[in-house]
Structure 1
């Protein structure tokens, strides 16, 4: 069951991943950001901007993903798109029902409309484009951030996008403007953006001649949030998360070259 905002209990639940992020904290365009740099050549020629979920840029899971991208040769930027107002990690085990989502997220969402969220994204992208060392830029969005992956795929500010279990998506409204190559990672049983909605989006993109792909993930427990907040002690969830990372990297290797 979802709330009218297009969010569900899985939007604010999940598991904290263990590990020590190895990147650094910088400011890009005046915005705080976690940056993970390729170990081999410090190159910015292929840059991925991560657009996080409601837990924001400080969540360990998101920073570890940025590290994974850097190990694959990308300059990974995880900015604070929530203006210092991310939900705390202890909310991960707080939302058990739709009523909990209303209570925890409802007031928060009212403060995080498109204009408020896009301002830091625009600042970061403008700064990256102004950096002569930066080449092509891709954006990957998760849950809350997935919507903005779609929105920026409708601009020339990025060269490619990936959306993992996006929330608050309206089909066809958010799909029609897309013109950059886009890849979707979707859980078959996602209560927000499921296989049926993904197929409808694919038809729109196909009709519009936009290069795209959708990969449907299945398995025990694989639902909304699987690519960033799944329980890695469960084999099906660990496998789905890892495969979604491989999907993301393959898409950007193709389109940011």
Structure 2
């Protein structure tokens, strides 16, 4: 079925890791991918994924279905992950949670077999590390940041969007009954995947869909647009810029983290204002005191974070079910 369990340790908050050397602004290069985007929390004890890895148009995907499908009608949900990808046990369990609520879930490999490296982050045992230890931590942080940025450069909209549209075309044919029952394809996205859920919920020029041009670059005059490719979206702690929420055209639920450098408060507030002015059906809930990535399945010792994780899933699920 799936590959062996991936459950690497991540800190309760990745924000503290962004500058390991006091006063060294060179370490903090601004928003990229956070620790929670590229590592998994410890997997819940005894939890085992129930779906399977298959392929659509030669693209790997994890598929999980309601227990009574196809005897009972279902709706098709496209689930897009953070950097850990489709072979992450936690991501598979996240998909299973939606399947247990009646969705037929397809979670495609957005990264064409190249997920982020699941590096283990271990805090030093000395509560007051020496200067040399701080320097070593800083060097490690810079190296990790560089590796993540190189990985991001390989996975741009020009690469990812054509892949997702190939998967969509295949699953619409394979699961036409679920598409018809839901009146279209639903989509949920976490971290890296949130941006692409919003792009799929936008009107894009044909050359952007085909990967010939980045979404933010100038379109040729008269270029045909298409989309949205989904009917409803729900996203959690996305890595988002101002244009991402401004482009979405479908009902959208947003789970946001207060003070998240990967989705800054000012960008979030501007996006909310834009959706309100356009009359777009939406909801936006800000969760304080939680780290970026908190909504993805995985254990937290902090019960406040664990409870917020449950609430975020309930928010997204309720939105998808209501539409």
Report the TM-score when normalising by structure 1.
Answer: 0.88
CA apart distance, 1:251 = 0.9
Q: Is the 8 A contact 1:17 1:232 kept in 2?
A: no
Structure 1 counterpart of 2:178, from 131, 134, 156: 134
Q: Is the 8 A contact 2:90 2:298 kept in 1?
A: no
Q: Secondary structure at the match of 2:296?
A: helix
Q: 1:180 to 1:129 in 2, by over 3 A?
A: same
CA apart distance, 1:111 = 1.1
Q: 1:20 to 1:111 in 2, by over 3 A?
A: same
Max Rg structure: 2
CA apart distance, 1:104 = 2.4
| Equivalent residues in 2 for 1:66-215, closer than 5 Å | 66-89=95-118, 91-93=119-121, 99-131=142-174, 132-135=176-179, 136-154=184-202, 155-167=227-239, 169-171=240-242, 173-215=243-285
In the alignment, the residues of structure 1 paired with residue 40 and residue 142 of structure 2 have an alpha-carbon distance, to the nearest angstrom, of 17
Report the TM-score when normalising by structure 2.
Answer: 0.71
CA apart distance, 1:235 = 0.9
1:30 maps onto 2:58 in alignment: yes
Q: Secondary structure at the match of 1:69?
A: helix
* Greater Cα offset, 231-240 or 60-69: 231-240
Unpaired runs of 5+ residues, structure 1, are none
Equivalenced residues, count: 250
Q: Secondary structure at the match of 1:103?
A: helix
| Equivalent residues in 2 for 1:49-68, closer than 5 Å | 49-68=78-97
Q: Secondary structure at the match of 1:61?
A: helix
1:250 match: 318
Structure 2 counterpart of 1:12, from 35, 38, 58: 38
Q: 1:101 to 1:215 in 2, by over 3 A?
A: farther
Q: 1:188 to 1:53 in 2, by over 3 A?
A: same
2:294 match: 226
| Equivalent residues in 2 for 1:40-51, closer than 5 Å | 40-42=68-70, 45-51=74-80
CA apart distance, 1:94 = 7.0
Deviations 1:150-198 (A, max 9, x none): 111113210011111001x221x22222111111101113222144432
2:15 match: none
Tell me the C-alpha RMSD between the 2 structures.
2.2
In the alignment, the residues of structure 1 paired with residue 278 and residue 144 of structure 2 have an alpha-carbon distance, to the nearest angstrom, of 35
Unpaired runs of 5+ residues, structure 2, are 1-17, 19-27, 124-136, 203-226
